[in-house]
Structure formats: structure tokens, C-alpha cells
């Protein structure tokens, strides 16, 4: 029992606080949420959840002694009526924290949740804690599922768990309890999810098809998995993704080499089997096959120079022609190869290509099991590296975006555009045409707030540079070098008939830029200053024209009425 040798500490039993030589908090669960106090930078302490004398969960937390920076929470309603004990190692000398661990009927600070100053208003972010890679993007029974790397107990990376949110339109998200928790094989690293329509696993018992999550068990990343390697595991849900059961035969794919991780799985209809692409080591990805998601064998490898983690593999029509398709292999940094895949071997036909040009865009993954009538390949990526000081959360996702292959003068290339569902957030519209631009900034009148959807058609004319000032940040085109700059990032953009087309999605802490109908996309985060406001157009070194400018004010997805 923890606390031995630490001297006399405190134990909470029910509502009473009693002296005891054991370092723990204990109570019969009678409310659905547990609140835990967090102080950023406090010493990390290991907490073990013991439910009726069985280890149910284990995690590290910067446990607040004294005034917390924020309260995190976890849902405990599955333990109703049972005795929950928190064992803390090392036990704090200051035992006042026991008075702040509470059970509640509400999330902490619900009155201010999603109203925080730096809270993204139409990009998904977790209610509490750290978030990184999107995981297990899958559509089933009218819902889009977004799983994600989540530290529920702090603002920094750690305790990797699969967080979970659902949406009926990919825009308005509702966060659910975390789906998959660390266990004796390791913390839960990135992966994917599929719907087992053919019941190859044998897990379908009633109406609902099994949703199967395939993920990396990151051995050695928690106390329970000390000295274990990285392996691949699965968990399944037969209740529309509301609960997941880890497979008793895990891992389903043992350690191969290095930190092999991030399985992306798809059903390959022509060969009638499941296919997994897995990161093996720098530049190398493995392709594996399975008939039941439980037994895997390696088929081949894909070489991608300096390719690194979080792969994806998918097929797209070229120029919308279903009879002319190519396969795409993608890695975390947004680089990709176009080629052919026969169910066993990927044969590249292109050089290594780039798709990511912004500062904060990583580990993109596409949805599986999209409705056949939809026909879109939709991706969400992690807007990596954003910093949200003073907030109870950290990081955000990109908006969902549509991927397509189109012919260009340089060959077939990947185009990326926001999903049309974003338009559901549009409110007040302000449109102007044929605006002459010069060195004096031309402020766009009649728009308010900090959430915008902006469409621009800019005629370059004689200008050396022209662009848009968005809340103190310039999105600018340099005509001499055909370069587009956005938040200190630069990418080549070739004008079309002397014009460039821009689509900007502006949130409180980010700007996503889509240029020339998705030929270039740039996703970047920023910290707003209080004085940053408004939108203005300008041209330097010569005259230019804004052929059309349309600005929509956007509504929040968080239902803040």
C-alpha cells in the first residue's frame, strides 16, 4: 500500500477525513464525475485507481498542493456503488489536496467551458488536457467518430489514452468519455478504426456491426508495461462506439523493430482481406494482411525517404474519374507518394510530394467507412504545436478537409479543401467586388468578431506584393517569386490567368489557408493580442484589384446560447 514510510497522512472515507498511515483517497462512488486538482509544473505523482480491490487505471498527474490551475475530470459512473480508492505515489507532504478531490454531477467549471479566451470556436479541442494525433476516424450509423491522443490529466503530453468525440456533421462535436485506457501492454498510441461489416472477427451478436480499433500498445511507457516493447493491439465495440473491450489475445501483431507503431487498417475488396500499413522505422513502412483483424502476416514494405510515423493508405479517382484511380501513401509530415496498390505491394509512380505548408499541421488521417453515396475522402489533422497559456486544454484539430487527385501541369497532385459542411456556420455575409488596392490598407467594413470564412479573388496587376491583414497577421502573395506567405511560412503558388484564389478560415487561435482551389493549404496557429482585430486588404509596389471579396462571420460550434 502506498504511503508506507511517509508518516501520518490523510484518508477521505465518504465525507469524513481521518488520520491514517496509508496514502490514499477512498470513497463509495455516488456521482458520475470525479474532479482532480492540477497545478502546471507540480511534481508528477503516480495515481492508481483501485475499484473493489482491483487495479482499474493508473496514470501520472501534476497533482496540485494548494490552489490548482484547473480541475480535470473523469467519468466514473460505471463504478456507481463501488468503493474507489486512489493510491498516490509519492504521497504529498501537504495533504490539503484530499479536500479538493470531489465527486460531482457536473464537469468542472461548466459555466465557462468552451467560453475560455483562447478556446477555438469551430476547431475541435478537448474539454480538458493535452491532445495530439487524430485516431480511429470512422463513420457508423449516422455518426462521425473522432478518437484522439489524449492526456486527460494534464496540459502536457503523457498518459496516452484514446479520447473520443462524435458528430453528425463533422462540424459540431460532442466529447464522450475516453474510449481506450493504458494497460499492462502500454499506453495507447495512435491507430485507426474500421467497421467489420462481414463479421470477420465474430464479434457481432446483435444488430450493430463491430467497430474495431487498431492501435499501438506503447510498451515501456507506463509502470505496468515496464520492459515491454511496442506492439499492435485491437479493441472492439458492439454498442455504436460507446464502450470498447480490449481483445484478450492482444497483441495481435508482435514487436517487429524499433518503435513500430501507428497502424492504419483498411478493407481491400479485390483481395478480400484487411490491409495494415505500419510505421517500422525511419523511411520504412510495412504492409500486412489479415482475414480476421486478429492474425497478421507481412506482405511487403514501402520506402519513403525520411518518412516518419502515422501513415495512411487510400485510393482516389483522378479528376473525378472512377475508372482512373491511384493509390496514395501518406506520412505524418504530409508528404505522400502516388502509385498503384494490388493488395500486397505498393508501386510508386511519383516522386515524393509535399502537401503540408503551414506551421501546425501533422499526423493527418482519413475517415474509414464513409457512406457510399458521399464519395469523399475526408481528413482531419492535428494542428501541432499551438500553445494556449492559462487554458485547461492544449492543442486543436484542423477542420475536416476533402482530399482529391487532379491533373496539373506538374502531373497528378493532391488537392485539399475544407468540407462544405463548414458553410452551416456562416452568419452575416459581407460581399464587395472590383476593389482597387494600393499601399493604404483598405479595411473591410461591417464585419465583427474573430471567426471568419473569407473568399478572395485577387488580380495581381502591377503589384509586387498584395494580400490580406487578418487580426495582425499578413497572408501575402509576392508576385516576383510566386510565393504565398502566411504566419512566417512560405510556399510557391502559381497564379492562374494573373489571379490567385484564397479561402481563409479564421478562428480565435488559428488560420487555415486554401489557395487556388486547394492546390496549396497552410494551417497555422497564433496567440491573439487584444488589439488584433479587423480585416484589411492592401497592395504594395503597384496597383492590384480584389475582383471579389466575401466575408462571412461564423458561429461557434459549442452552443453557447
Kindly state the helix (H) or strand (E) to which residue 378 belongs, with its residue range: strand 377-383
Cell of 543: 496597383
CA dist 459 and 437 (Å) reads 10
Expressed in percent and rounded to 5, the helix, strand and coil fractions of the chain are 5, 55, 45
CA dist 542 and 463 (Å) reads 4
Q: How far are the Cα atoms of 70, 107, 118, 454 from residue 12, in angstroms, in the given order? A: 21, 21, 36, 55
CA dist 451 and 59 (Å) reads 37
Mapping DSSP onto H, E and C, the string for 168-198 reads CCCCCEEEEEEEECCECCEEEEEEEEEECCC
CA dist 302 and 418 (Å) reads 29
Q: Which of 403, 135, 133, 178 is nearest to 264 (CA)?
A: 135
Show the beta-strand stretches assigned E in 196-243: 211-218, 230-237
Distance, CA of 345 to chain centre: 29
CA dist 470 and 410 (Å) reads 31
434 among known catalytic residues:
no
How many residues in the chain? Answer: 561
CA dist 390 and 443 (Å) reads 32
Asked if 293 and 379 touch (Cβ cutoff 8 Å), the reply is no
Helix (H, G, I), strand (E, B) or coil at 230: strand
CA dist 293 and 249 (Å) reads 11
Asked if 162 and 135 touch (Cβ cutoff 8 Å), the reply is yes
CA dist 250 and 294 (Å) reads 8
Residue 503 phi/psi, 5-degree rounding, is -125, 125
CA dist 161 and 284 (Å) reads 26
Q: How far are the Cα atoms of 127, 148, 192, 316 from residue 145, in angstroms, in the given order? A: 16, 10, 11, 22
Order of strands, edge to edge, in the sheet holding 393-394? 173-180, 161-167, 143-151, 129-140, 393-394
Place of cell 501483431: 253
Point out the catalytic residue in the list 133, 178, 196, 312. 133
- Strand-pairing partners, residue 433, are 548
Active site residues: 133
Amino acid at each position: 500500500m502506498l504511503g508506507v514510510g511517509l508518516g501520518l497522512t490523510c484518508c477521505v472515507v465518504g465525507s469524513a477525513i481521518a488520520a491514517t498511515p496509508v496514502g490514499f483517497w477512498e470513497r463509495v462512488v455516488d456521482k458520475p464525475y470525479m474532479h482532480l486538482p492540477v497545478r502546471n509544473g507540480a511534481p508528477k505523482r503516480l495515481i492508481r485507481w483501485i475499484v473493489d480491490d482491483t487495479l482499474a487505471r493508473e496514470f501520472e498527474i501534476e497533482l496540485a498542493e494548494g490552489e490548482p490551475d484547473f480541475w480535470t475530470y473523469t467519468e466514473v459512473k460505471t463504478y456507481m456503488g463501488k468503493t474507489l480508492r486512489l493510491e498516490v505515489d509519492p504521497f504529498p507532504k501537504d495533504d490539503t489536496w484530499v479536500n479538493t478531490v470531489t465527486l460531482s454531477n457536473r464537469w468542472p467549471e461548466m459555466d465557462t467551458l468552451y467560453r475560455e479566451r483562447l478556446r477555438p470556436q469551430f476547431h475541435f479541442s478537448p474539454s480538458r488536457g493535452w491532445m495530439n494525433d487524430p485516431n480511429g476516424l470512422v463513420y457508423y450509423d449516422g455518426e462521425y467518430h473522432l478518437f484522439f491522443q489524449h492526456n486527460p490529466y494534464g496540459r502536457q503530453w503523457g498518459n496516452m489514452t484514446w479520447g473520443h468525440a462524435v458528430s453528425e456533421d463533422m462540424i459540431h462535436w460532442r466529447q464522450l468519455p475516453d474510449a481506450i485506457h493504458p494497460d499492462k501492454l502500454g499506453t495507447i498510441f495512435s491507430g485507426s478504426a474500421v467497421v467489420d461489416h462481414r463479421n470477420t472477427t465474430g464479434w457481432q451478436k446483435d444488430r450493430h456491426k463491430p467497430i474495431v480499433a487498431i492501435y499501438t500498445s506503447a510498451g515501456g511507457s507506463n509502470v505496468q508495461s515496464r520492459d515491454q516493447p511496442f506492439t499492435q493491439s485491437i479493441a472492439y465495440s458492439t454498442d455504436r462506439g460507446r464502450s470498447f473491450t480490449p481483445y484478450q489475445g492482444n497483441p495481435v501483431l508482435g514487436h517487429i523493430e524499433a518503435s513500430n507503431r501507428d497502424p492504419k487498417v483498411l478493407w481491400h475488396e479485390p483481395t478480400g482481406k484487411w490491409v495494415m500499413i505500419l510505421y517500422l522505422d525511419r523511411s520504412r513502412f510495412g504492409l500486412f494482411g489479415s482475414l480476421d483483424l486478429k492474425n497478421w502476416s507481412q506482405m511487403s514494405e514501402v520506402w519513403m525517404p525520411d518518412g516518419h510515423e502515422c501513415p495512411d493508405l487510400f485510393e482516389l479517382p483522378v479528376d473525378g474519374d472512377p475508372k482512373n484511380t491511384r493509390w496514395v501513401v501518406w506520412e505524418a509530415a504530409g508528404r505522400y507518394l502516388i502509385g498503384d496498390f494490388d493488395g500486397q505491394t505498393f508501386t510508386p509512380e511519383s516522386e515524393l510530394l509535399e502537401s503540408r505548408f503551414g506551421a501546425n499541421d501533422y499526423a493527418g488521417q482519413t475517415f474509414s467507412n464513409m457512406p457510399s453515396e458521399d464519395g469523399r475522402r475526408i481528413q482531419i489533422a492535428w494542428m501541432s504545436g499551438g500553445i494556449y497559456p492559462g487554458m485547461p486544454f492544449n492543442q486543436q484539430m484542423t477542420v475536416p478537409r476533402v482530399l482529391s487527385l487532379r491533373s496539373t501541369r506538374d502531373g497528378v497532385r493532391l488537392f485539399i479543401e475544407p468540407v462544405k459542411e463548414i458553410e452551416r456556420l456562416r452568419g452575416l455575409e459581407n460581399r464587395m467586388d472590383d476593389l482597387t488596392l494600393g499601399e493604404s490598407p483598405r479595411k473591410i467594413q461591417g464585419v465583427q468578431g474573430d471567426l471568419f470564412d473569407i473568399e478572395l479573388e485577387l488580380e495581381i496587376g502591377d503589384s509586387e506584393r498584395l494580400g490580406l491583414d487578418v487580426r495582425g497577421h499578413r497572408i501575402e502573395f509576392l508576385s516576383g517569386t510566386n510565393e504565398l506567405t502566411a504566419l512566417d511560412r512560405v510556399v510557391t503558388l502559381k497564379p492562374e490567368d494573373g489571379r490567385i484564389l484564397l479561402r481563409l478560415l479564421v478562428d480565435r487561435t488559428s488560420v487555415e489557408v486554401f489557395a487556388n482551389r486547394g492546390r496549396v493549404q497552410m494551417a497555422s496557429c497564433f496567440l491573439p493580442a487584444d488589439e488584433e482585430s479587423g480585416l484589411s486588404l492592401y497592395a504594395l509596389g503597384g496597383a492590384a484589384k480584389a475582383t471579389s471579396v466575401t466575408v462571412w462571420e461564423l458561429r461557434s460550434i459549442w452552443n453557447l446560447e
